[in-house]
Each structure stands twice: as C-alpha cells, then as structure tokens.
Amino acid sequence: MVARDSTETRRRLLAAADKLFYGEGIRAVGVDAVAAAAGVTKRTLYYHFASKDHLIEAYLDGRDLPTLERYRGLIADPAAPAAQRIGQIFALVENNARHPDWRGCNFVRAAAEFAGSVGHPARIGAARHKKRFEGWLRELLEAEGVGDAADLARQIMILFDGAVTQILIHRDTSYAKAAGAAALMLLRAHQTEGVPQARTSRRSRATRTVRQELWRNV
Amino acid sequence: MVARDSTETRRRLLAAADKLFYGEGIRAVGVDAVAAAAGVTKRTLYYHFASKDHLIEAYLDGRDLPTLERYRGLIADPAAPAAQRIGQIFALVENNARHPDWRGCNFVRAAAEFAGSVGHPARIGAARHKKRFEGWLRELLEAEGVGDAADLARQIMILFDGAVTQILIHRDTSYAKAAGAAALMLLRAHQTEGVPQARTSRRSRATRTVRQELWRNV
DNA sequence: GTCTATATGCCGATAGAC
DNA sequence: GTCTATCGGCATATAGAC
C-alpha cells in the first residue's frame, strides 16, 4: 500500500546498474549514468539505495543465484555422468564468451576492482558466490561418488575462473576447451583413486529474478 | 645533455604509480595522488607522460619482464626436472600471496578494470605479458621433452591465474596448493603420453628495472 | 623541467518542494 | 516517491611563468 510502482523503479535501476557495471566496470560508471539509464533522477536512485556501495551490493547479489541456476540447469538428464556434466560446464563458458558483449565474470571483475578495499561489499559478494559455486561442484562430484570430491571441485573451480580470465585477456575462447580437457583429465585421475558409491541426484530450483542475459556470467 | 635528473623524476613517478595502482586499483587512483606520492606536481607528471593512459601503459610494461624473470630465476639448478619446476611456481604464488600487501595479479586486475575499453593499453599490456608467460611455460616443458607442451603450458597458465584469482577472492592461499597438485597430475598424464626428447636448458636474463617488490606479482 | 594556477566536467551525496 | 537544484570535492588535462 505504501509503494506505487516503487518495486518496478527499483528493478529498472538494478537492471541499468547490471548492464552498465558489467559492460564498463563498476568504478567507471557513475550513479548519474545508472539513474539516467533507468529513466529516473539521481535523487530517486538514492531513495532506493542508500549509497553506490549498496547498489553494488544489490547488483552482485542479484547475479548470485541466477548464475548458479544457469549451471545447475545445464543437464536435463539427472543420470548424466560426471564427465559429461563437467564437459558441458566448460562448453557453456565457451558459448557465453562468444557473445560480443561478454566481459568475463562480474564477480571476479568486481573483486579485482575493489581488491584494495577490505570489507567492501563487492569483495564479500564475490567471495560468497564463488564459495557457493565451488560447493555446488563438490555436491555434484560427491553425488557421482568421486573420491576427494572437495579437492577436485576446488581444482575445477580454479580451472573455471582461470579459463574465464584468459579468455577475457586474450579474447580467445579456445581456453575453455583447454580448461575442459584438463578438468576431465583430473576427473579421470580422481575417479581411479576414489571409491565408487551409490549415486544420488538433485533437482535445480527455479531462479527468482527477472529476465537476465544468461550468457553474461562467466 | 637535455635532461637534468629527468630520468630520476620519471622513475619516481613510475614507482609511485606502481605502488598506488597495484594497491588500490588504477581507476581508483588519480594522477594527483601519483604526482604527490612522487613528490612532484601534476604538471610535471604530464611533462613525462602524455596522459594517464600512457602512465598506465608504462606501469604495466615495467612489470612485464621483471615478473617473468622472477619465475625464470626460480630454479637455481638447470637440471631440475619439470615436476619440481612446476611445483615451485605454485609455491612461489603461495608465498607471494601471504604478504599482507599482496593484491593478486596486476595484469589480470588491469584487464578486469578495463574490460569494457577495447584497445586500451591496459588490455594490450596484460595480453602481452600473459602470452609471454605462457610461452615461457611452453619452452620449459618442451625442454623437458614433454609431449603436447603447448597444450600443457596453456592448462598450467589457466591453473596459475585461476589460483591467483581464487586466492584474491577468498584470501586463502591454499588454492595455490590445489592448483599445484592439479598441475602435477596433468604433467604426469602428459608425460605418459609424450615422447621423451633430448633436454636443453636456458639461462635467465637479469631484469633491467630498479628494485621491485618481488612478492607483488601473482 | 618544474612550478603555480586554473579550465572544465563528473564524482557521490543531499536539501527541500510537491 | 520523484522531482529540481545544488553542494564540496576530485577527475584529467592545460596555460603560462621561471
């Protein structure tokens, strides 16, 4: 009853921030530009977000689960083997990176921009997302009965962000293939060592956010 | 005859830029701060560098070879096997990252900050350095007679930047161990497939720059 | 070569009207 | 809830003296 189309305005502000922050960098974009892109004035932006840092926080938070869900939902067949799932993760990276507007991983870039600001919301948001992503990888591998699932998940996480970084730097998507091949070699090595267990599977949850450019993240 | 202590002033400006850009980010630091840290006025900075972009370019260029030489010079014994060399690369990453002022890789962070600016000197400098680093890895592996040296070098490069990124995000140096272990597993896999060749070795060149904080890069 | 002083504009953030 | 108008500060870059 208190808000007219307040949530809609806020949504538009977030969408504008998302587009501009990802496209040009967080520090490179002023609050003026975000407000203008959302079709409101700066004062309205500051009504919805207490500061630019709060806007940054909301921007990264809005990307966290949708990005995860994008990868969670990769495989329609819940019985697909781990090797296939891992392969498709890196195939998705490669496809995303082919989009002309792709600019790497917003979490990594945010953490890089604010590397010098301890406790900054951008660093907290980035760390939370990456931890979630690594945790999802670990669960996936555990469900497949891979031995040392935590170790392998961490190594795949490293390959993942490493590939994204190299692709961004060289604008060469073939790094995704190299990383995917490495991940499969590591998976094979771990599977030889590990003890096979009963397999379980999980269902993905639907994302709670509005339409997003799904190619965008990593 | 034309310059009094011009080269010294320029050196101080570069040293100040290096410290500030790495510590707080390139866009986060203004030319005022760089000039002040170097003990000169802005006008003097603009006498030595045509623009901030030129200063950024010189900053990254000044880190390129010294960083490479730091890794080149890792192993005193030229007869050390590849596994030992690879292991020490990631051990160096871990040690560097333990320094309280460590902030990840300046090339990756520069590329991340200017991901939206096509053709920016920061992106060019980052790409050149990473290509050189990957090339050095390839030469190192070729000299050891590793089969598919180019492929493995690329995978180790991915693990390298991936680990640095994760360490920066989580402030957890153990990612270097995970990456090092993965690199050794991949090396072993490649060595089983590859055909052993006669070994050659190379000597490192001395760096041409002044004293630098060697822990700083990656 | 380095200085003082300044041009010009955008930065994040706020006051107060409606 | 959104507006107009504005604050003080800092951004990159430059003019001209010495």
Q: If you average pLDDT over every residue of chain B, what do you get?
A: 90
Q: State pLDDT tens for residues A184-197.
A: 999 999 887 654 44
Which position has the token pair 């060289």? A170
- pLDDT value for B216: 86
**Residue A2: pLDDT over 50:** no
CA of A29 to C1' of C11 (A): 10
Q: Which of A111, A130, A168 sits opposite B115 (nearest CB)?
A: A168
Nearest residue in chain B measured CA to CA from A174: B154
pLDDT exceeds cutoff 70 at A199? no
B64-216: CATH superfamily: Tetracycline Repressor, domain 2 (1.10.357.10)
Confidence (pLDDT) at A1 = 39
- Identify the architecture of domain B1-49 in CATH: Orthogonal Bundle (1.10)
Q: What burial class does residue B118 get, using C-beta atoms within 10 Å of its C-beta: 0-12 exposed, 13-18 middle, 19+ buried?
A: exposed
Residues A59-64 have a mean pLDDT of 97
Which residues are within 8 A (CB) of A110 and not within 5 positions of it... i.e. 6 or more apart? A21, A26, A56, A60, A122, A123, A125, A126
Q: Work out the percent of chain B whose per-residue pLDDT is above 70.
A: 89
Give yes or no for residue B6 having a pLDDT over 70: yes
Question: Helices A52-72 and A31-38 meet at what angle, rounded to 10?
Answer: 60
Distance, in Å, from the CA atom of B211 to the CA atom of A93, rounded to the nearest integer, reads 40
Name which of A71, A98, A96, A97 is nearest A85 in CA terms. A71
Nearest to B162 among A109, A165, A186 (CB): A165
First vs last Cα of chain A: how many Å apart?
Answer: 39
Residue A203 has pLDDT above 60, yes or no: no
- For residue range B129-178, list pLDDT tens digits in order: 999 999 999 999 999 889 899 999 999 999 999 999 999 999 999 999 99
Nucleotides of chain C touched by protein CB (<7 A): 1-6, 10-16
Q: Which residue is nearest to nucleotide C15 (CA to C1')?
A: A43
Average pLDDT (B24-38) is 97
CATH 1.10.357.10 region(s) of chain A?
Answer: 64-216
Partner B contacted by A59 (CB < 8 A)? no
pLDDT of residue A213: 85
| Start-end of CATH 1.10.10.60 domains in chain A | 1-49
pTM, two decimals, is 0.92
The mean per-residue pLDDT over the stretch B16-38 comes to 97
What is the pLDDT at residue A4?
Answer: 52
**Nearest nucleotide (C1') to the CA of residue A10?**
D1
In order, the DSSP letters of A134-165 are HHHHHHHHHHTT-TTHHHHHHHHHHHHHHHHH
* Residue-level pLDDT at B205: 40
Distance B124 CA to D7 C1' (A): 40
Q: For strand D, which nucleotides have at least one atom less than 7 Å from a protein CB?
A: 1-6, 10-16
3-class DSSP state for residue A49?
coil
pLDDT of residue B193: 66
Q: Which positions ≥6 away from A177 have C-beta within 8 Å?
A: A90, A94
